[in-house]
Structure 1
Amino acid sequence: MSNNRLLGQIRRTSQLPAPILGCSKLAFCILPIAQIAIGSVYLNDCPRQQYIPIYLIVSGVFGLILGVLSCLPCAQEPEDGTVNLLSRICTAWNSLTSFFLFCWFITGNVWIYSIYEPNYNKTATDVNLYCNKTLYLFAFWTTTLVYILLGLFLVIGCCVLFCFCLCGHADPDDNL
């Protein structure tokens, strides 16, 4: 079996049942909702870097938008492989939203990691160096979680690619 046919077969058989897809999309909406909630509750509780709560709120809102857009019928690829105007618009909007979230993530990294580790004591002598502990640690660990997951996906992807290479070259008698 050639690599193209193998990849095509894997792609066709990887469709998950609708309840599993729905539950996974719901689970992926929990973090954006938490970001909006934490950012809103502690909106004025980080004078050291006042943009951290705003970063959380905007990330949460756009994360939810991306999650909702992925549920729309225009986001799914048609079975017959045709592409219509609505599908192109939806793809362009998803791409723009994803690009914005990537740029916003980089900006949030600068805001969060540049003040590591802030003063969590609000009654300290200089109140402008204060940042609420819950707010800062939530922003710090959600951002760090993205790097952890990215590293895991990279390692798993390399392992899968290595396995595909082994499977593709396992039998020298195969005709390509």
Structure 2
Amino acid sequence: MATTTMKDADHVRFMSLDNLIHSIENLYFACVTVIIICLTSSLPFSKLCIGILYINQCPAQTQIPAWLIVSGCRSLISIILIFFIIIYVNTMDHCCKKTPPAFVGLGISFLIIISFLFHFIWSIVGVVWSSARKSMIQHEDPNEITTYCHSTPYAFQMGIALFHLIIIIMSLIIGGIYTCCRRSSKSSYAIDKATYVIKQLE
């Protein structure tokens, strides 16, 4: 009789509302993650494909297809790492009910900083490469290999590099404003607290 009761309890626990909600949340999380990955990976795939397809069609500036290939690979690797980090943190939170170890957080922070610095420097390099010989580049006669570069990789690379730089600069400005506002709010809170303590002592 006790065994039957335990089985019934396990069945009720399995079919409970909490488990149903948890399953729906996991499905929602998986769907949202897949959608975000598809959207964010479209641009890296575009850079990679254009760089490979036009790798021999920009003899005047062979660095441009190479820039697109490297940039696309870096972005795809970053997306894959972010995906695995999200899965790991979500698994630790929901299944193990534990927070990730401190060294995991440090490793993630280190990877983010390295990726951000490389992205910033590589974007500057891309702008320099695309604008260095802009006045000498032509897109009509492929026989003039010293000045010819196909318009597709050239325009795409210049646009992407400028877009990356604008996004990075905007992120730095927003981050700086947020940091300043947070510090000022902490300072005002500390002043208010000190004033309150002084008034209590008087």
TM-score (norm 2): 0.61
For 2:43, the equivalent position in structure 1 comes to 31
Q: Is the 8 A contact 2:126 2:158 kept in 1?
A: no
C-alpha distance in structure 1 between counterparts of 2:145 and 2:126, whole Å: 22
- In structure 2, what is the equivalent of residue 115 of structure 1? 133
Q: Would the alpha carbon gap of residues 37 and 21 (structure 1) be closer, same or farther in structure 2, given more than 3 Å must change? A: same
Whole-Å Cα distance in 2 between the matches of residues 162 and 67 of structure 1?
30
The question of whether the paired residues in 1 share the 8 Å contact of 2:54 and 2:153 is answered with: yes
1-side partners of 2:114 and 2:187: how far apart? 40
* Distance in 2 separating the partners of 1:116 and 1:22: 39
In structure 2, what is the Cα distance between the partners aligned to 1:64 and 1:30? 9
Seq. identity, %:
24
Cα distance change on mapping 1:173 and 1:64 into 2, 3 Å: same
CA RMSD, 1 decimal: 3.6
Among 143, 152, 163, the residue aligned to 1:134: 152
Q: Hey, what's the Cα distance between the residues in 2 that align with 1:91 and 1:166?
A: 28
Match of 1:170 in 2: 188
In structure 2, give the amino acid aligned to 1:147: L
2:60 to 48, 56, 63: 48
- The whole-number CA distance in structure 2 between the counterparts of 1:156 and 1:96 is 17
The one of the two structures with greater contact order (alpha-carbon pairs below 8 A, sep at least 6) is 1
Aligned residues: 158
Distance 1:30 1:169, change over 3 A: same
Aligned to 1:148: 166
Q: Do 2:142 and 2:149's aligned partners in 1 also have CA atoms closer than 8 Å?
A: no
Q: State the alpha-carbon separation in 1 of the partners of residues 120 and 172 from structure 2.
A: 17
Q: Pick from 47, 56, 61: which aligns with 2:73?
A: 61
- Offset at 1:41? 2.1
Give the partner amino acid of 1:42: Y
C-alpha contact (below 8 Å) 1:66/1:94 kept by paired residues: no
Residue 159 (1) aligns with residue 177 (2): yes
Letter in 2 for 1:111: W
> In the alignment, residue 174 of structure 2 is paired with which amino acid?
I
Contact 1:32 1:64 in 2 (8 A): yes
Residue type of the partner of 2:137?
A: N
Tell me, which stretches of 5 or more residues in structure 1 are unaligned? 1-16
For each residue in 1:21-72, what CA deviation from the matched residue of structure 2 results, as whole angstroms up to 9, or x when unmatched? Answer: 5433332211110101111221211111112112211221221122112211
Q: Contact 2:64–2:130 (CA<8 Å) still a contact in 1? A: yes
- Distance in structure 1 (CA, Å) of the matches to 2:42 and 2:141: 33
Residues 69 and 75 in structure 1, CA contact (< 8 A), matched pair in contact too: no
How far off is 1:105 after superposition?
Answer: 4.4
Higher helix share: 2
